[in-house]
Structure 1
Amino acid sequence: MGIVTDEEWCKTEYIRSHIVLHEFVIMPNHVHGIIQLVGAHCMRPNGTHPHEYADSDEQPGRVQRAPTAPPTSTVRCAPTLRDVVRGFKSSVTKRLNALSGTSGQRFWQRNYYEHIIRDEDAYRKIAEYIQTNPRCWDTDTYYV
């Protein structure tokens, strides 16, 4: 399970655009990792953002949503954290089910914990926690 999890984590950065992976550790019953979302979140092919606001000529001073893109236009969106985590969990689950000859076996809890890292100091503290977490496993509440 750990090998598959590690392989899928490493592949994540290459198959999902607009992310950079940082520290990561596989614990016996959970994983820790830092995922950095980079670049524009959503862009139309013409370079505009689908959720941009524009001033309306009809009602001066009032801000309204820009018109939606024509049906022939596609909107490219960078993955959200939810997309990345869901894709990662899904690929690990599919591989583990294939290896064990099962179908529909669940390996992950339903949700995940997220924390926005806002500055370099917070990043260093969280990265250190991830790196040192395995040393603390025998004192973990869920240690088996």
Structure 2
Amino acid sequence: MDESNKFGPLKSGSLQAIIHAYKSAVTRWCRRNGFEDFAWQSRFYDRIIRADGSLDRIREYIINNPAKWEYDKNNSANLWM
């Protein structure tokens, strides 16, 4: 794979190269199948979870975060906040 990014060329078979290929394939599929407005979430970054404590905190965030949507400033009901 000869793709590159701001850190240099992607190493074939690396996790970064695999994720890049996946995102590219999904984006192409979406464009070909009528999902022209599809886009990956901006300001999102992939992270490798290296410790059990980190994994537990991330799981807790995933479980509890939807309950906070009612109070989120990006919720259209709260645009006045």
- Which residue matches 1:140? 72
Larger strand proportion, structure 1 or 2? 1
Q: Per-residue deviation at 1:108?
A: 2.1
Would the alpha carbon gap of residues 126 and 117 (structure 1) be closer, same or farther in structure 2, given more than 3 Å must change? same
Rg larger in structure: 1
Indicate which of 5, 12, 17 corresponds to 1:83. Answer: 17
Distance 1:91 1:119 in 2: 30
Give the structure with the higher percent helix.
2
Unmatched runs of 5 consecutive residues or more in structure 1? 1-75
Structure-2 change in CA distance of 1:121 and 1:130 (3 Å): same
**Counterpart Cα distance in 1 of 2:72 and 2:64:** 13
For 1:50-102, what per-residue CA distance to the aligned partner results, in whole angstroms no more than 9, with x for missing partners?
A: xxxxxxxxxxxxxxxxxxxxxxxxxx95422x324323322221222122175
The whole-number CA distance in structure 2 between the counterparts of 1:88 and 1:138 is: 33
Task: Number of aligned residue pairs: give it.
Answer: 66
Q: CA RMSD in A?
A: 3.1
Q: Distance in 2 between matches of 1:141 and 1:83?
A: 35
Q: Structure 2 length as normaliser, TM-score?
A: 0.50
Equivalent in the alignment of 2:30: 96
Q: CA deviation at 1:127?
A: 1.4
8 A contact 2:30–2:38 mirrored in 1: no
Q: Which residue of 2 aligns with 1:128?
A: 60
Higher relative contact order (CA 8 A, sep 6+): 1
Tell me the distance in 2 between the aligned counterparts of 1:113 and 1:88: 14
